[in-house]
């Protein structure tokens, strides 16, 4: 009854799907500490599935930025949420405008403190390394990556200015796994309604509930887990308390009550563990779980959440890439050592991209820097690159024309080669066919060939014989057309 009612009401419940890659689902639980004070003090590595040889994950925190906290978790989920809206295939480059950044940070105004808090959160995620070691078929595979492979920052002028926009590049192993459909679909709208701890519970519990739910018998679904393991594996190292009353009153109770009130949980219980000291939490799903399950797994249509990714890539993502690429080439610094690019350079990048596609920008910048060095021009900003745009376009057009001519010559030479090879085949095949004919047929063909292949006066015997053989070949082919391959048939067999 409860499941049926949830199915009927699922259309009226707020839903917004996010597709969280399954390895990330487990990593997020240990990566983000939901106690901000505790997070600032933790820099040691964290292991998941310690002692399990065929599936082991290690999270290495950065000693400078320490463990990501609740705000970093919010930032990461915002990136995943936006990526999910692009649909399939999974996009690796996700960009945010200033207005989106304000919403992301939950701010009505946007200043230097807000900006630096966001940058710290991005760098906490960027410089945390994940080492995934697992068995695939008969081999062991290891991936060493950061969840955010790159973070590109745009400021108006100086390094003290607030962020204007940013672009995040997601690691390839995550993208590949998403495209292989190794993800859990979650309701971001529900996560926005509750606290970060309640959201962390929702992420893991939805995955477990969905694995055991058959679509009919909700009352048979439940999940149990030790309290101390939850603190470590789901909540990023939350302090393990000794007393049930303290757990309910001071730590987890209010957050789990939010999930009950939202309808995701029907009940939860904290009971003493049977095997060793500690507590066990038992969870039972509610109607909101069924509604989300039906929306995301029964009637899922990922295309409903797509929008124009390419417009945003052109207006934010690619200009950021180009501005960073210019500084890399001009200074020789690696991208991770470039703190930001200016809005002026980003606007210039947009103009340049209107004339030259991103995939040709590496060649264009090489040309511009080479020309600047030749004329001893100190090229400091991307705006100076405009001076070399017309020259590059002329060079590109000339090279394209030369390339087209070379391709045409190559195609002509190739076709001529085919015809020469076919003529050799025809002579040899016609000679074999002629030799298989009866003597009267051979004599008739030779007499006609001699009559038609009369060489000019004064020509050599070699020319006379050549003309005779060509005419004999032609007559043999004409009289037995079905026994030799046409040019198209021969080409199909020999290419």
Query: Is the peptide bond between 89 and the residue preceding it cis, with omega within 30 degrees of 0?
Result: yes
Tell me, yes or no, whether 409 lies in a domain: no
Of 284, 305, 326, the domain-final residue: 305
Structural domain range at position 234: 2-305
pLDDT tens figures, 364-379 = 999 999 999 999 998 9
On whether both 297 and 329 belong to a single domain, the answer is no
On whether both 289 and 316 belong to a single domain, the answer is no
On whether both 132 and 95 belong to a single domain, the answer is yes
Tell me, yes or no, whether 421 lies in a domain: no
pLDDT given at position 368: 95
On whether both 183 and 83 belong to a single domain, the answer is yes
pLDDT tens figures, 3-62 = 444 444 444 567 888 899 988 898 899 999 999 999 999 998 888 765 556 677 888 999
pLDDT tens figures, 142-181 = 778 899 999 999 999 998 898 999 999 999 989 998 998 8
Confidence (pTM): 0.74
pLDDT given at position 15: 81
pLDDT given at position 323: 95
Of 268, 283, 305, the domain-final residue: 305
pLDDT given at position 302: 44
Cα separation, 12 vs 42, whole angstroms: 42
pLDDT tens figures, 90-122 = 899 999 988 887 777 677 777 788 888 899 999
Q: Give the range with max mean pLDDT: 65-79, 252-266, 418-432.
A: 252-266
Hey, what are 304's tokens? 């409903």
On whether both 33 and 91 belong to a single domain, the answer is yes
On whether both 261 and 354 belong to a single domain, the answer is no
Which helix (H) or strand (E) is 170 found in, with range? strand 163-170
Q: How many residues does the chain have?
A: 495
pLDDT given at position 53: 60
Tell me, yes or no, whether 416 lies in a domain: no
pLDDT given at position 310: 58
The DSSP 8-state label assigned to residue 162 in this structure reads P
Average pLDDT score over residue span 208-226? 91
Tell me, yes or no, whether 85 lies in a domain: yes
Region for residue 388 given its phi and psi (left: phi exceeds 0; alpha: psi -120 to 50; beta: otherwise): alpha
Q: Judge whether residue 481 has pLDDT over 90.
A: no
pLDDT given at position 8: 43
pLDDT given at position 112: 81
On whether both 376 and 469 belong to a single domain, the answer is no
On whether both 276 and 336 belong to a single domain, the answer is no
Average pLDDT score over residue span 204-231? 92
pLDDT class of 216 with cuts at 50, 70, 90:
confident
Full DSSP string of 16-72: -EEEEEHHHHHHHHHHS-S-HHHHTT--S-EEESTT-TTEEEEEE--TTT-S--HHH
Tell me, yes or no, whether 376 lies in a domain: yes
pLDDT given at position 227: 96
pLDDT given at position 194: 92
Of 305, 338, 370, the domain-final residue: 305
Tell me, yes or no, whether 342 lies in a domain: yes
pLDDT class of 197 with cuts at 50, 70, 90:
very high
On whether both 261 and 318 belong to a single domain, the answer is no
Average pLDDT score over residue span 292-305? 66
Q: Judge whether residue 305 has pLDDT over 70.
A: no
pLDDT tens figures, 318-349 = 999 999 999 999 999 998 889 999 999 999 99
Q: Judge whether residue 136 has pLDDT over 90.
A: no
On whether both 21 and 132 belong to a single domain, the answer is yes
The count of structural domains within the chain is: 3
pLDDT given at position 301: 47
pLDDT given at position 229: 93
pLDDT given at position 255: 97
CB environment 400-434: b (16+ within 10 A), e (fewer): eeeeeeeeeeeeeeeeeeeeeebeebbbebbeebb
On whether both 363 and 262 belong to a single domain, the answer is no
> Under a CB-based contact definition with an 8 Å cutoff, are residues 210 and 187 in contact?
no
pLDDT given at position 87: 81
Summary mean pLDDT of the chain: 87
Cα separation, 195 vs 179, whole angstroms: 30
Tell me, yes or no, whether 92 lies in a domain: yes
pLDDT given at position 471: 86
Residues in Cβ contact with 206 at an 8 Å cutoff, skipping those fewer than 6 apart: 184, 186, 187, 264, 289, 292
> Under a CB-based contact definition with an 8 Å cutoff, are residues 331 and 163 in contact?
no
On whether both 265 and 388 belong to a single domain, the answer is no
Cα separation, 184 vs 296, whole angstroms: 9
pLDDT given at position 455: 64
pLDDT given at position 139: 75
Tell me, yes or no, whether 407 lies in a domain: no
Q: Judge whether residue 251 has pLDDT over 90.
A: yes
pLDDT given at position 450: 85
pLDDT given at position 7: 46
Cα separation, 118 vs 156, whole angstroms: 16
Q: Is 383 exposed, middle or buried (0-12, 13-18, 19+ CB in 10 A)?
A: middle
**Which residues are bridge partners to 141 per DSSP?**
134
pLDDT tens figures, 434-467 = 999 999 999 998 888 888 877 665 555 667 788 8
């Amino acid at each position: 009854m409860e499941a049926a009612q949830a199915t009927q009401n699922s259309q009226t419940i707020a839903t917004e799907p996010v597709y969280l890659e399954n390895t990330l689902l487990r990593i997020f639980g240990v990566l983000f500490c939901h106690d901000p004070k505790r997070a600032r003090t933790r820099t040691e590595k964290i292991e998941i599935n310690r002692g399990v040889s065929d599936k082991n994950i290690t999270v290495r925190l950065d000693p400078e930025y320490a463990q990501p906290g609740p705000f970093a978790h919010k930032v990461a989920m915002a990136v995943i949420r936006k990526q999910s809206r692009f649909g399939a295939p999974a996009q690796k480059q996700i960009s945010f405008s200033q207005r989106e950044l304000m919403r992301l940070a939950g701010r009505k105004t946007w200043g230097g403190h807000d900006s630096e808090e966001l940058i710290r959160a991005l760098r906490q995620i960027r410089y945390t390394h994940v080492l995934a070691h697992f068995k695939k078929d008969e081999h062991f595979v290891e991936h060493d990556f950061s969840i955010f492979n790159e973070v590109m920052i745009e400021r108006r002028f100086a390094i003290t200015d607030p962020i204007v926009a940013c672009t995040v590049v997601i690691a390839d192993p995550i993208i590949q796994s998403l495209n292989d459909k190794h993800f859990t679909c979650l309701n971001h709208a529900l996560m926005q309604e509750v606290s970060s701890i309640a959201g962390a519970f929702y992420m893991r519990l939805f995955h477990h509930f969905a694995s055991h739910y058959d679509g009919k018998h909700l009352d048979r679904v439940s999940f149990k887990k030790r309290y101390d393991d939850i603190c470590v594996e789901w909540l990023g190292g939350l302090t393990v308390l000794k007393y049930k009353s303290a757990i309910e009153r001071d730590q987890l109770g209010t957050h789990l009550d939010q999930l009950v009130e939202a309808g995701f949980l029907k009940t939860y219980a904290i009971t003493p563990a049977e095997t060793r000291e500690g507590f066990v939490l038992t969870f039972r799903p509610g109607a909101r779980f069924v509604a989300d399950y039906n929306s995301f797994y029964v009637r899922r249509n990922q295309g409903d959440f797509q929008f124009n990714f390419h417009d945003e890539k052109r207006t934010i993502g690619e200009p950021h890439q180009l501005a960073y690429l210019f500084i890399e080439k001009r200074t020789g610094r690696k991208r991770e050592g470039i703190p930001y690019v200016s809005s002026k350079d980003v606007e210039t990048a947009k103009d340049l991209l209107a004339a030259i596609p991103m995939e040709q920008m590496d060649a264009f910048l090489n040309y511009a820097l080479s020309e600047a060095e030749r004329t001893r021009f100190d090229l400091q900003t991307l705006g100076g690159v405009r001076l070399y745009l017309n020259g590059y376009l002329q060079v590109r057009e000339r090279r394209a024309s030369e390339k087209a001519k070379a391709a045409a010559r190559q195609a002509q030479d190739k076709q001529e080669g085919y015809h020469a090879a076919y003529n050799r085949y025809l002579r040899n095949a016609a000679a074999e066919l002629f030799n298989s004919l009866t003597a009267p047929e051979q004599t008739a063909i030779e007499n006609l060939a001699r009559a038609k292949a009369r060489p000019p006066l004064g020509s050599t015997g070699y020319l006379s014989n050549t003309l005779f053989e060509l005419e004999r070949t032609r007559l043999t082919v004409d009289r037995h057309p079905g026994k030799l391959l046409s040019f198209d048939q021969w080409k199909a067999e020999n290419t």
